[in-house]
Structure 1
Amino acid sequence: MTAVHAKPGEPVRPGAVLLEVSGRPLIALPGAVPIYRDLKPGAHGEDIGQFQRALQSLGYDTGGDTAGEFGSGTKTALTRLYAKLGFDHPVTGTDDEARLKAAEQAVDTAQRQVDLLKSQIAAASSATSGAATAPDGRPAAGPKEAVGGESLDTQLRYARKTLVSAQSDRARLVETTGPMLPVSEAVFLPAFPAQVTAFSAKVGDPVKAPLITLSTGELGVTSRMTPDRAALLKPGMPVEIEVTGSDRHTTGKVASVGEPTAADPAAEGTPGGAGGAGGGGALMAQVLITPDTVLGPDWAGRDVQLTVTAASSGADVLVVPLSAVSTGADGKASVVKVAQDPGGPPTARVDVVAGLAGGGFVQVTPVRTGELAPGDRVMVSEK
């Protein structure tokens, strides 16, 4: 790699040069389909049409070229793009240049022969039409006749055919040679601005794939949750997003909740957020989160922990640890209150109505008012 023009985290605009390899540029262009072949004059296809649209979006007119056909207008636009970027435009090859030069010479030679014959015919026609005779007394050749050969008119007819053939050969070469876009000098990106995520080499290092990694559009967060957890979520719910093992955090909102499907244990990113990822083949629902602020490139690919507020009590409530609540055979929930008064009973069972749960705690309301109050101790396990 001989030069770097784009830095990780900085926005990449259409038409920008990302880097150079052996002095040749890698250009970012708008388009959904990756470039998979050299784009050459005379070529046809949807990839040519995509390239033409990219040139036009950057302000380079492709002239009268038919969409999807690499013609002279596209060659001119490509040449202007490279000139603007400060690079010589690539061509189809030195062999093609030599063939084109030979074709030009063939046209010039044929044209000179036609012009010569036309001048000879004109000179012969202007000669006097007297009763000229040859030295042996026979009539001399006519003004458009060649002595001992074809007439000048016949020679001119063949010369014109040769000229037309040479011009046709030259036109075919012009149509299929000249400025081109090599597959190694362009990357099509579906959305802008894009960002450089990483380089695999630095200036002076040998090139190895992948040389550059880019991301397009804004980063989002994806999680896979068990159906029971996903059922609690609705689009628009607020979410706290925290990078695992880091103090970086932000907020966002639930964008969508997918239908539960069988999880692929080999799929990347299946461990997800608060829901976890379950075993292979378990039903999981995909949840998409939209961050409230644009996430930087250092967030890309990181594991995050999600905290979703599925519901709120709206006011201060009495809560106990989840493990403190038990359900009896009659289906009633209760907690065991530990006495604070040494003279009273050591424990007392208090019937409660459980409410919202979150963060390891659950809201409880004593069935009989006053049996449980803030500060009371409750049993979370028995030995």
Structure 2
Amino acid sequence: MADLMKSADAAPWQTAPEPGPTAGGDRTARTSALARRRRGVLAVASAAALLSLGGLGGAMLVKSPAQAAADTRAPKASVITASVGSERLARTVVLRGDVTSGATLSITPTEVADSRALGGGTNPGGSSPVLTRKLAHVGDTVKAAEPLVEFSGRPVYVLPGRIPAYRDMLPGESGDDIAQLQGALAKLGLYHGGDKHGYFDTATKKAVVALYHRLGYPVPVTGGSAGKGGGSKAAGEPFVPSSEMAFASSVPVRVVGLPAAVGDKVSGPVVSLATGGLKLTGYLDPSYQGLVKEGMKVRITSETLGLTASAGVSSVGELVTPGDKTGSQTSGDNASAQDGNGPANGGVPYLPVQVTRIGTWDNRLDGQNVRMTITAAATTGAVLTVPEAAINAGADARTSVTVVAPDGSQHRVRVTVGVSADGKVQVTPAGTARLRAGDRVVVGQ
């Protein structure tokens, strides 16, 4: 009994071993039970941690009404500023225009003048004309009394004059065309007077002989088919055949066409000329009426050729409505396209702008549709400028800008406005107000 009591006192937690497993098996069982208890504790701790995190996340998602209102309130307005500049401003208007040759003149020889009576060539008067030489090229500028082409050994040339050469001019004849011939020969230094004004007499004949010597061709004489009849008193006298000479309203002229080939019989024009130089007509949007005025500078640009030229506005015409015969038009020419392929300006109404060229234009501009840049207003030098959005107009019609100081404070500065261009406006401080380049002005918020 005593032994039993000792055994109980020594290991109160032990129970009597059950029959079966050995002592090693007992240790294994105890280790497995301990591991299960540890796993249980870890599982409980993990669950507690997850619950804590979930609670924290839920707390973060929950907002008070005051916080929710604060979060949805519009942000505080920020001020957008721009710098005051110092520069030269120029307001420009850009439009399109067509370059043309102005008036054209074509020459078609119909007869060959005789020159044998004065010891010249052996041209049979009245023979069929044949183109024998081209002495100029398309695009050339030719002066008065310079041969353009040659037909059957005879020259074609021009003299200045507004009355067309409608007849052969013969000795003994008189008229305005004879007076025009005398004037043209005088400009060449070949006629010095001596005949009655407008009468083809001795002094005029000498001048005609000198003219053909300058041209380098035998002098045409009366007596052939070209000089028969008329007012000539005798055969074999110098005269001016209408088949060889043409009056041009302005000289020099420009060669714009040489339609016949050397060796061809002449059945039509052998040379086409442009008088008065190149002409440019611009198509101004009617909304700009009053902005473009006579005397303004024009910059002409051909994007196709890479050429530029300078001109000045000579006039701004009335509204043209292409194709509208009853509309207000400056001339019928302006209502049709310059190249004849359709209505001018694509059929859109426009104000025709005519220009006066400065210097000599490149003849390659003929027939080109070009860009015209017109300077409508400009400052003489550098001025203070601000963006258009910076200008404030009050109920009293006074204008001002709002200047932002380095410390963020704002104050208004009264200004007067001037030239505007490319989104900028010239400003001048009014009275004693101060505004300097580099100041920051409010343009929005």
TM over 0.5: yes
Q: Deviations over 1:63-121 (max 9, x none)?
A: 6422212223322322232233232222233489999xxxxxxxxxxxxxxxxxxxxxx
Distance, in Å, in 2 between the alignment partners of 1:208 and 1:95 is 18
Question: Cα distance, 1:185 vs. partner?
Answer: 0.4
Q: Which secondary structure does the structure 1 equivalent of 2:148 belong to?
A: strand
Which of 75, 78, 95 pairs up with 2:205? 75
In structure 2, the CA distance between the partners of 1:230 and 1:95, relative to structure 1 (3 Å rule), is closer
Q: CA deviation at 1:179?
A: 2.1
Q: Which moved more, 1:182-191 or 1:205-214?
A: 205-214
Q: Which structure: larger Rg?
A: 2
In structure 1, the residue matched to 2:364 is 298
Match of 2:93 in 1: none
User: What SS is found at the alignment partner of 2:255?
Assistant: strand
State the 1:304 CA deviation.
Answer: 1.5
- Give the partner amino acid of 2:333: A
Secondary structure of 1:174 counterpart: coil
Under a length normalisation based on structure 2, what TM-score does the superposition of the two structures give? 0.49
Contact residue 61 and residue 73 of structure 1 kept, 8 A: yes
2:158 is matched with: 28
Q: Does the CA contact (< 8 Å) of 2:226 and 2:241 recur in 1?
A: no
Matches within 5 A, 1:1-383: 1-61=131-191, 64-94=194-224, 174=233, 178-243=237-302, 245-260=304-319, 262-263=328-329, 267-268=333-334, 277=345, 279=347, 284-312=350-378, 362-363=423-424, 371-372=442-443
SS in 1 for 2:298: strand
Which runs of 5 or more residues in structure 1 are unaligned? 100-171, 325-353, 377-383
Kept after mapping to 1: 8 A contact 2:282/2:354: yes
Q: Deviations over 1:132-173 (max 9, x none)?
A: xxxxxxxxxxxxxxxxxxxxxxxxxxxxxxxxxxxxxxxx96
Q: Which one has more relative contact order, counting CA pairs under 8 Å at least 6 apart?
A: 2
Q: TM-score scaled to structure 1, two decimals?
A: 0.56
**Shift in Å at residue 20 of structure 1?**
0.5
* Counterpart-to-counterpart distance in 2, 1:201 and 1:83: 27
Give the whole-Å Cα distance in 2 for the aligned partners of 1:94 and 1:235. Answer: 55
Query: Per the alignment, in what secondary structure is the counterpart of residue 233 of structure 2?
Result: helix
Amino acid at match of 2:292: L
Larger displacement relative to structure 2 (79-88 or 32-41)? 79-88
Cα pair 2:292 2:316 within 8 Å, conserved: yes
Q: Is the 8 A contact 2:168 2:227 kept in 1?
A: no
Aligned-pair distance for 1:10? 3.9
Instruction: Evaluate the alpha carbon distance shift between residue 270 and residue 316 of structure 1 in structure 2; reply closer, same or farther with a 3 A threshold.
Output: farther
Provide the rounded CA distance (Å) in 1 between the counterparts of 2:331 and 2:276. 27
Following superposition, the deviation at residue 223 of structure 1 comes to 1.8
Question: For residues 98 and 243 of structure 1, what CA distance do their matches in structure 2 show?
Answer: 52
**Sequence identity of aligned pairs in percent?**
33
How many equivalent residue pairs?
Answer: 265
| Aligned-residue CA RMSD (Å) | 4.2
Paired with 1:251 and 1:56, the residues of 2 have a C-alpha distance of 34
Deviation at 1:319, TM superposition (A): 5.7
Moved more, 27-36 or 237-246: 237-246
Question: CA 1:278 to 1:315, structure 2 compared with 1: closer, same or farther past 3 Å?
Answer: farther
Bigger CA drift: 193-202 or 27-36? Answer: 193-202
Unaligned runs of 5+ in 2: 1-130, 321-327, 339-343, 390-416, 427-439
Cα distance change of structure 1 residues 258 and 299 upon mapping to structure 2, 3 Å threshold: same
Which whole-Å deviations, capped at 9, do the CAs of 1:28-76 have from their partners, x for residues lacking one? 2122222111112222210011112222222333764222122233223
Mean Cα deviation higher: 32-41 or 211-220: 211-220
